[in-house]
Structure 1
């Protein structure tokens, strides 16, 4: 870069960067930067990469006060999540917050207890009173749509667990079960998550339908999302000598089951194959490394934020949710003969 270029860059960094600074750094028009910040389409991929790099280099932050005064809007989004301290809900909310900030919005988060239905109404009321322009509901429980329908909400609402994401849960479950079926397993047990959670309900329902159509009678033990649940129910699986595979509702349940099988002298996958769900970062370091269904929590959170903002601004929704993937590792193998 020339001396003048260095001087310009230094001046940009001393003061708050504008979209004109970003455009100059990226080598694009300021209209292109504005379209990107507003979440609009029609931007060439390589230009989008240059704009993102320039935003990061200049540490661009929209002037929210000026925007609000000029537009009579708050540029605030409310997010309500169940058990947000959990690893996966936390990742979704963090990614949604990051994506919203890049589009010029601030996210206000309210955590909810899934066992206290009254908290939803209180959370919605609090966020609307604080001037949010839309609501994002993450990690939903069964019946959330009915609860929302009883509330008078006049701003856009996006439930991360509606029809499209529900279908992705079913598809991911089928990936796991088809994998076990292809390996010759017919006696497949399911250690389920808590039934009040939408994700657990969908995985169990998909498992039960698959077993009734393609394998043998379903065998379900329900617990919570924690490793202790898998550890406890693994002993019951071991008592059923005919079971050759376990589909765990998440990776933490699978982790508990793997430990108990090891203590009982049951070989994985020699005696029993185990499949999890989520692909938490530690899954590849389980013993043995866990076959699981990968969910893209970060990308999903960003997609939800982009979709809600498009709803708020009256724009078409262009962002698809990411597909789940089967990640095959060492915890699954053919049925022993």
Structure 2
């Protein structure tokens, strides 16, 4: 089947091919009604621009360097998926280099790898101060997007999951609570912990135990061996991600501690497996795919020196109540 051209799109939309070209180039001075007709025609004809030719004419590159840390984890993996889709839709390709976000030398090596080729920008997926400091030290001349760095329209408070978890436990009547955080080097981990502590203090909760894991289920299992659950211990635990919550519940079960009978557990992320656990995990849903698309679209708008009118927003974190938490009469 022959691919649609801009002339086909122009005919379907009832406009000139110059108008279609201006729309594709991000020109802002097109009337809303005309813009909508062009958008519909592009979608109906499944028009796909020849991005290689477009970038060749403009003497620009359509490659973006993506620095990836812990792609094995649900959150970073889903964020990269969203970023990749947004880049592809806009005619860009990604050069992905894996790295250890806690090791400056590893970040430098990843940067060296993507900078071997001409790139239009850098997208970083590791929420660590190590990554930010390593990139800032290079004084790159291309636009840069890092997780949690931007606070413009559509961005979400990364500490909100912690607030939501604490508020949920308080609403259920819990007063003696604990919190299992992720690695201290991760900015998101600290933000979720601080959000939880702030909401706990406002609600009058007694945070009797704090632990730190490495995002893995194994670290959650290890934490379960030391958290004080009992007659005077905690009655609920919030966990910084679902993987650690899974391990925590397994470890508590081995100790003969029932969830949610003896202790309630709330996770964060809403990983695909969380609703199929026994008990199904109460968690805070995060729109990682949407966030990745949002940050990539904002980066490309800066690369192309546009206002970013096509940057999609993403969903704010929200609580998903399942069977791992219950009300308590203290």
State the match for 1:10 in structure 2. none
Q: Report deviation, 1:48.
A: 8.1
Consecutive unaligned residues in structure 1, runs of 5 or more: 1-12
Higher helix share: 1
Alignment partners' CA distance in 1, 2:172 and 2:292: 34
Match of 1:237 among 215, 227, 237: 227
Alignment partners' CA distance in 1, 2:14 and 2:208: 59
> 1:184–1:79: structure 2 CA closer, same or farther, 3 Å change rule?
same
SS in 2 for 1:168: coil
CA contact (8 A) 1:39 1:306 kept: no
Alignment partners' CA distance in 1, 2:42 and 2:271: 27
CA contact (8 A) 1:133 1:156 kept: yes
Question: What's the TM-score once normalised by structure 2's chain length?
Answer: 0.86
Q: Report deviation, 1:43.
A: 5.7
State the match for 1:268 in structure 2. 259
Correspondence 1:329 to 2:319: no
CA contact (8 A) 1:176 1:293 kept: yes
Q: Report deviation, 1:316.
A: 1.9
State the match for 1:259 in structure 2. 250
> 1:74–1:189: structure 2 CA closer, same or farther, 3 Å change rule?
same
Question: What's the TM-score once normalised by structure 1's chain length?
Answer: 0.84
SS in 1 for 2:64: strand
State the match for 1:178 in structure 2. 167
Alignment partners' CA distance in 1, 2:326 and 2:252: 16
Consecutive unaligned residues in structure 2, runs of 5 or more: none
> 1:34–1:114: structure 2 CA closer, same or farther, 3 Å change rule?
same
Q: Report deviation, 1:53.
A: 3.9
Q: Report deviation, 1:283.
A: 0.7
> 1:142–1:52: structure 2 CA closer, same or farther, 3 Å change rule?
farther
Alignment partners' CA distance in 1, 2:74 and 2:106: 21
Alignment partners' CA distance in 2, 1:36 and 1:91: 30
SS in 2 for 1:174: helix
Alignment partners' CA distance in 2, 1:223 and 1:46: 49
SS in 1 for 2:178: strand
CA contact (8 A) 2:184 2:190 kept: yes
CA contact (8 A) 2:101 2:107 kept: no
Match of 1:192 among 181, 185, 209: 181
Q: Report deviation, 1:249.
A: 0.8
State the match for 2:75 in structure 1. 88
CA offsets, 1:273-312, max 9 Å, x none? Answer: 1100000111111111111111111111111111001111
> 1:334–1:53: structure 2 CA closer, same or farther, 3 Å change rule?
same
Alignment partners' CA distance in 2, 1:218 and 1:167: 29
Alignment partners' CA distance in 1, 2:279 and 2:82: 30
> 1:72–1:118: structure 2 CA closer, same or farther, 3 Å change rule?
same
Paired residues, what number?
A: 321
Q: Report deviation, 1:105.
A: 1.3
> 1:50–1:29: structure 2 CA closer, same or farther, 3 Å change rule?
farther
State the match for 2:50 in structure 1. 63
Q: Report deviation, 1:23.
A: 5.3
Match of 2:109 among 111, 122, 131: 122
Deviation >6 Å, runs of 4+: 25-29
Correspondence 1:297 to 2:288: yes
Correspondence 1:309 to 2:300: yes
Alignment partners' CA distance in 1, 2:252 and 2:135: 43
> 1:31–1:229: structure 2 CA closer, same or farther, 3 Å change rule?
farther
CA offsets, 1:208-264, max 9 Å, x none? Answer: 333344322452111111111111211222545420101011001111122222333
